[in-house]
Each structure stands twice: as structure tokens, then as C-alpha cells.
Amino acid sequence: MTSNAHPGSPAPGAQHLTFSVAGESYAVDVLHVREVVEVMPITRVPSLPAAVRGVVNLRGAVVPVVDLGVRLGGAPLALTKRSCIVVIEVDRAGEPMIVGLLVDAVDQVIELGPDSLEPVPPFGTRAGPDVLDGMAVLGGSFVLVLDTARVVAELLGGADARRVHADAGAP
Amino acid sequence: MIRNAVDHALEAPETRTAAGKEAEGTIVLRARHEAGRIVVEVCDDGAGFDRERILARARERGMIAEGSRLDDDDVYRLVLAPGFSTASAVTDLSGRGVGMDVVARNVAALKGTLAIASRPGAGSTMTIRVPLTLAIIDGFAVGVAEETYVIPMDAVRECLALPRDAGATSAAAPSAGGGVLELRGAPLPFLRLRDVFALPGAPPPVESVVVVESEGVRVGLAVDALHGESEAVVKPLGEVLERADGVTGSTILGDGRVALIVDVPTILHRAMRRGERAAKGERA
């Protein structure tokens, strides 16, 4: 992201959806979010990475669901009343792909301008700088902005992971 | 492929008569359903693959090292390389080197497999297997743990209750997660689908067995519950899920849940391989 905002005038912010996973607050650009749905029965799929919780029926489409708790909390999330699936669209090797992210709870939509984003320190966050675009302070605590394409590429694996990054990095 | 068979595989009438075959060559094109896959076979009664000629051509093109030993399967795979042709002359029909590689690529794009079988002098068979993508199959739904799986009906032979004492024999092969049960006086090996798919929980006191058959191998699959026969609209698994082992696709059940379709041939293959390895280990 480039910082081209004039001093004094509020920077044009991008809307981000915030949600919590394993006690921490994360955000994704709303432009990548297709919808947020309640947790529905998830069908387990054998022999996939642990982070792939299974597949769900999203109005007739079979969509994989990734458990963010495995990557960001060290353990699969326990389902509660507030658990949600954030359905996102990521660019995977040039093709759009619909993926559900299982999160503990969805919080709010906030505006995050380039000015409010801080670079991610090389260590200290559970997610690590690889899958984060930046972090912001919100009401005294941190919100970590996820790079959805990177997270999905990392969790789902595959030879095209690098290309996803290249695509995601393009303006 | 048929064009290839006509031009490459079938010999000239004189050669055929000399070899004691009918002057007229036969090419058979077969298509069928097989446990969740579409199988297309092109079968000819021509000369078969000429191992030496393929090897010579491959050496000429520098595809294989001098003196390397290849089994028949590897040799046949060579003809799938782009631009590979052993035809001495370009004819109207083929020989431009645009042939098997295109077939192989298209099959691979459909996530299918291409198998070549050949007997010198007696002909060759090319078998294409592609997964069903959007099709309706007759399926047999079974329940294991909280999941429902659909077994393609054409692989199902019969269903029975798992005898209570059948589990005891599994102590002899604890790693296999199954055992042997008696079916009308003959032994029938069985696997627990719960173990095949690494599902949590213990099997219920009463289990059922679905007897499935693929490529002549008959195996029982122990499940928690039999839900019965239904038509299933097959949905492709998509890029991520097609890496999953032992499933060929998914379908949406009446209650809106997703059920996976069991890839019977793969599961049986894997079990057989494991059995063979275990047998070897015991002998060693």
C-alpha cells in the first residue's frame, strides 16, 4: 500500500471486516468478503491438511472451509453460538476461488486507512509477517490485517502458492 | 486415438495374413461407467507396441540414457511425449507427431488417467479413465460417525450385518483396521470405512457391511449405518479437494449436507498394497 494521503486530511480508508480467532482480532478487506454465514454442518474430507475443516454446501456450491484456529491459534476452533464462516474470494493461480474461513466471531466493519496501518514486526505475532498486510491499533488493542490470498495459499498448499502471492501483490 | 490406431497399430493386409490374422483389422471403442468414473477403451488387434522401435526412437531423441532399463509401462509412456512418432512416413492419417501427447494432456486436464496395455503381435488397448464431473449416478448412502458417504451403486454387490465376532479377527491385522468375515463359506476381507477416512470415535456395537467390487476384487466396507439407495448429482471436488484420498466427488444430500462419494478402486488398491507390504514384512 502506498501512502499518498495529504497531511491533515483523513486518508481514504478501506473498509475491513474484523473478526476474532483464538482471542485475537483480525481484519480482512471487505472487497474480498463475499458473505458471512452461520456455521452449518461441515463435511470432513480425508487426507487434507489439518487446517481444512471440510466442505459445506453454500447454496448448492461445495465450498472448502479453512479453520483459522489451526494457523492462528495452534488448535482447531471449538464451535460456539458465535462461530461464523467468512466466505471470501481469493485469487488462486489466476482463478477466483471461494473459500470459507471459520472464525470464532465476526465483530464489525471498520475503516482502515493506509496511515493507520503499521508494519508487522518480524516476530511477536502468532500469525507472523508472512500472512499479514499490517496491523492497526483499535481501541487499545491490535487488529491484524490478514493477507487472505497468502493465508489460503499457505493452508491449502499447492505448487501455485507463489503465483498467488505474485497476483495478490499486483495493484 | 482411433486415427492413431488405424495408422500405427494395424498392419498392412499382407502383413496381417502373414501373421495368421484376418486381413481386416478391428478397432473396438468401448465406453462404460466404473465406480464413479467414465472408462473409454480403444482396443485394436494390430501389431501392438514395438518396444524396440520406441526405445530406438527415444534414444535418437535423447529422451532416455543409453543402456537404461525400462519396463514395458515406462516404454509405453514414452509415446505420450510431445512430438513422438515412430511412423517412418507422414501419412494423411497421422505421423506428424501430434498424437498421443495431445490425448495424454487432455486426459490429464480432466484429472483422468491413461493406461496402455499391449501384447506384441496381438494388439494394444488404451484405457482412459476420467472422473465423473457433472453427472447423476446411482449411489448407496452409508453413515459413518457423523458423516454420510455415497458409494457408487455399480460397485455395490450386497449388504449384510457384520457378525459380532468378525471384529475379533482384526487382532491378526490390527494396522489394517479391518479383518476377515465369512460370506457363504468363503472368506471376505473387510475394511472399516471409519479407519479408511480416519474418523474419530469407536464403531457402534452393530455394524453393517457393504460388499463392493472393483476390477475383480471383492471387499467388505464396514459402516455404522445403511441409508439406502438414491440418485446423486455428482459435484466435482474442486482444486483443493481433489487432492483428498479415497473420494471422487461430492453430492448434496436431501438435508443440505455435503456427502463425499467413495472412490472404491483407490481404497481397494491402497488396502491391497498395504496387505502386500505387510505380507512381505512378515516374511522378511
pLDDT for A1 equals 46
Q: In this model, does residue A164 exceed pLDDT 50? A: no
Of A11-25, A68-82, B74-88, the poorest mean pLDDT is in B74-88
The pLDDT of A57-67, averaged and rounded, is: 91
Contacts of B244 in chain A (CB under 8 A): 45-48
Q: Which of B240, B262, B263 to mutate to test the interface with A (most CBs of A within 10 A)?
A: B240
ipTM of the complex: 0.74
Alpha carbon distance B128, B116 (integer Å) = 9
Instruction: Give residue for cell 464403531.
Output: B203
Spatial separation of the C-alpha atoms in residues B145 and B272, rounded to whole Å: 24
H-state helical runs in B12-50: 13-18
C-alpha cell at B92: 494423411
Q: Which of A32-36, A136-140, B175-179, B207-211 comes out lowest in average pLDDT?
A: B175-179
A40: chain B residues, CB-CB within 8 Å: 256
Contact by Cβ (8 Å): B126, B114: yes
Quick one: pLDDT at residue B224?
92
Q: List residues of B whose CB lies inside 8 A of any A CB.
A: 147, 196-199, 235, 237-241, 243-247, 250, 252, 256-260
